[in-house]
Amino acid sequence: MFNVFASQIKDLTLLNLGYKLSDEQVNQFCVYGDLLLEWNQKLNLTRIIEPLDIILKHFIDSMAIEKYLKGNKLADIGTGAGFPGLPIKILRPELDVILVDSLKKRLDFLDVVISKLKLKTTRTVHARAEDFGRNVQYRGTFDCVSSRAVARLPILLEYSLPILKKNGLFISLKGLQAQEELKESQAALNVLGGNVECVKTYNFGETAEHRAIIVIKKGKETPSRFPRKAGIPAKSPIH
C-alpha cells in the first residue's frame, strides 16, 4: 500500500529535511509503513494511521534529529514502534542502533521490521529504561541517545545520561512544552552531569504540530546511584 506513496516519501523528505533518499531507502520506508499498519490492528502501535501523516509525523519527524547525531552508536530509549531509531537507521545505515522498550510485543514487531528491511547492526533489547541504564554492558557506552514521546524531560535525563559516553549527546524530540520541561530539568541536569547544547523548534506545515529538538551534552560522569530503581524516576523526578 505504501508503494503508492513512494514519491511523496521522497519529495517530502527532500522538501522538509533536504535529504535525497535512495530508491532502496524509499522502499524500506514503504515496507516499514505497511508492517506498521498491519501490526497496528492488533498491537495499537500508533494513533496515526493515514499514510501521509505517518510519513510526515513519524518518518520525517524522526529523521529530523539526524543533523544532531555524533559518533556511531545510538540507543533509542522507549522506542515504541521504532521512532526515532528505525527511520534514523534507514537514513544512516552505518549506525549501530539499539532499540530499547519495556513491552516485548512491540519488540517482536520491530524484530520483524529489522529482518524484512535487512538492517545490519540493529537490535532490540527488552528492558525498563532504569534497568538498561544500570547494566554495566550498556552504561557509558553510547555516543548518542534518542527519545520521543516517552516521558517528561527530567525523567528522560535520568534514563539517558547514565548510558552516554562523556561528551555524548541526548537528543529528545518534544512538542510545545519543551521550554517548560527544560525549566523543570535544571536540578536533574546539575545532578546527572548534563548541559543544554541547543534547542531547535520547527514544524512541517499546517497539519503537523509544532515540534522541538532538545540536545543535551553529557559534560561529566553521572553518579553511580543513577538511574534509580525502576519506577522511581517517574514517581519522584530529580528536583
What string of pLDDT tens digits covers the 239 residues of the chain? 999 999 999 999 999 999 999 999 999 999 999 999 999 999 989 999 999 999 999 999 999 999 999 999 999 999 999 999 999 999 999 999 999 999 999 999 999 999 999 999 999 999 999 999 999 999 999 999 999 988 999 999 999 999 999 999 999 999 889 999 999 999 999 999 999 999 999 988 766 678 999 999 999 999 999 999 999 999 999 99
Q: Is residue 47 part of a domain?
A: no
For the chain, where are the E strands, in sequence order? Answer: 73-77, 96-101, 122-126, 142-148, 164-174, 194-202, 211-218
Q: Is residue 94 part of a domain?
A: yes
Q: Is residue 226 part of a domain?
A: yes
Predicted TM-score of the model (pTM): 0.97
Q: What's the CATH code of the domain at 150?
A: 3.40.50.150
Q: Binding site, residues?
A: 78, 83, 129-130, 148
Q: Binding site for S-adenosyl-L-methionine, residues?
A: 78, 83, 129-130, 148
Strand order in the sheet with 164-174: 122-126, 96-101, 73-77, 142-148, 164-174, 211-218, 194-202
Domain range for 181 is 67-235
